Amino acid sequence: MAKIKCPFKASEIPEGGAKCIELEGKKIAIFCYKGAYYALDDTCPHEGGPLSEGFLEEGEVECPWHGARFSLKTGDVLCGPATKGVTAYHCQKIGEDLEVEI
Amino acid sequence: MISHYPYLIVGGGMTADAAVRAIRSIDQNKAIGIISQEPYPPYLRPPLSKGLWKGKPVQRIWCRTESKKADLFLGETAIALDLSNRRLYTDKEKTYSFEKLLIATGGRPRTLPFKDQSIIYYRDLADYYKLREITERAEHFGIIGGGFIGTEIASCLCELGKKVSMIFLEEGIGRRIFPLELSLRLNAFFEQKGVRLYPNQSVKDFRKEGKKEIIVSSTGQELVFDCVVAGLGIIPNVDLAKEAGIKVENGIVVNEYLQTSCEGVYAAGDVANFYCPTLGKRLRVEHEDNARKMGECAGKAMAGNPLVYDHIPSFYSDFFNFSYESVGIADGNLPVISFWNADYSKGVLYYHDSSKLMGVLLWNIPGKVPEARAILSEGVAADLQVLSHRISFN
In a domain, B311, yes or no: no
* pLDDT tens, chain B, 394 aa long: 899 999 999 999 999 999 999 999 999 999 999 999 999 999 999 999 999 999 999 999 999 999 999 999 999 999 999 999 999 999 999 999 999 999 999 999 999 998 777 999 999 999 999 999 999 999 999 999 999 999 999 999 999 999 999 999 999 999 999 999 999 999 999 999 999 999 999 999 999 999 999 999 999 999 999 999 999 999 999 999 999 999 999 999 999 999 999 999 999 999 999 999 999 999 999 999 999 999 999 999 999 999 999 999 999 999 998 999 999 999 999 999 999 999 999 999 999 998 899 999 999 999 899 999 999 999 888 888 888 889 988 7
Chain A / chain B CB contacts < 8 angstroms: 20
Which residues in B lie closer than 8 A to residue A84 (C-beta atoms)?
A: 367
CA distance B60 to A61: 13
Whether B72 maps to a domain, the answer reads yes
Same-domain status, B102 and B239: yes
Picking from B230, B265, B288, the residue at the C-terminal end of a domain is B230
* Residue B177 and residue B225 in one domain: yes
- Total count of residues recorded for chain B: 394
Interchain contact A8–B (C-beta under 8 A): no
Structural domain range at position A48: 3-101
What is the model's pLDDT at position B307? 97
Q: Are residues B11 and B76 in the same domain?
A: yes
Q: Identify the domain containing residue B218 by its residue range.
A: 111-230
Q: Chain A residue with minimal CA distance to B366?
A: A81
Residue B103 class from Cβ within 10 Å (0-12 exposed, 13-18 middle, 19+ buried)? Answer: buried
Q: Would you state the pLDDT for residue B154? A: 98
Residue pair B51/B328 in contact (Cβ under 8 Å)? The answer is no
- B39 and chain A: CB distance < 8 Å anywhere? no
Would an 8 Å CB–CB cutoff place B365 in contact with chain A?
A: no
- Overall number of domains in chain A: 1
Q: Residue B241's pLDDT is what?
A: 98
Q: What confidence score (pLDDT) does residue B355 get?
A: 82
**CB crowding B116-149: b at 16 or more within 10 Å, else e:** eeebbbbbbbebbeebeeebeebebbbbbbbbbb
Supply the CATH number for residue A16's domain. Answer: 2.102.10.10
- In angstroms, the CA B392 to CA B163 distance is 37
B248 and B334, same domain (yes or no): no
Query: Do B116 and B225 belong together in one domain?
Result: yes
Which phi and psi angles does A88 have, rounded to 5°? -105, 140
Q: Are residues B11 and B63 in the same domain?
A: yes
**CATH code, B178:** 3.50.50.60
Question: What pLDDT, on the 0 to 100 scale, is given for residue B100?
Answer: 98
Q: Is residue B394 part of a domain?
A: no
Nearest Cβ partner of B64 from A53, A67, A82? A53
Q: Which pLDDT score is estimated for B311? A: 97
CB contact under 8 A, B289 and A67: no
CA A29 centroid distance within chain: 4
Tell me whether residues A53 and B56 touch, CB distance under 8 A: no
The pLDDT value given to residue B94:
97
Question: Is B64 in CB contact (< 8 Å) with chain A?
Answer: yes
Pick B289's closest partner by Cβ from A47, A62, A64.
A47
Domain boundary among B196, B230, B264: B230
B197-to-B142, B219, B314, B348 alpha-carbon distances in Å? 10, 13, 28, 26
The Cα–Cα gap between A91 and B78 comes to 48
- List chain A residues with pLDDT less than 70: none
Q: Which residue, B302, B329, B352, sits at the end of a domain? A: B302
Q: How large is the C-alpha radius of gyration of chain B?
A: 22
- B223 plus B156 within the same structural domain: yes
Q: How far is B268 from chain A (nearest CA, A)?
A: 19
Instruction: Establish if B159 belongs to a structural domain.
Output: yes
Q: Cβ contact (<8 Å) for B367 and A81?
A: yes
For β-strands B95-103 and B2-10, DSSP reports them as: parallel
Query: Hey, which residues 231-290 in chain B have their CB within 8 Å of chain A?
Result: 289
Chain A CB within 8 Å of residue B367 CB: yes
**Among B44, B366, B367, beta carbon nearest to A65:** B44
Taking only residues 74 to 93 of chain A, the set having a beta carbon closer than 8 angstroms to any beta carbon of chain B reads 80-84
Please judge whether A53 and B51 are an interchain contact, meaning their C-beta atoms are less than 8 angstroms apart.
no
On whether both B173 and B260 belong to a single domain, the answer is: no
Position B19, amino acid: A
Give yes or no for A53 touching B (CB within 8 A): yes
Domain tally for chain B? 3
**Closest-CA distance of chain A to residue B284, Å:** 21
Q: Quick check: is B393 in a domain?
A: no
The answer to whether residues B28 and B92 belong to one domain is yes
Cα maximum dimension of chain A: 38
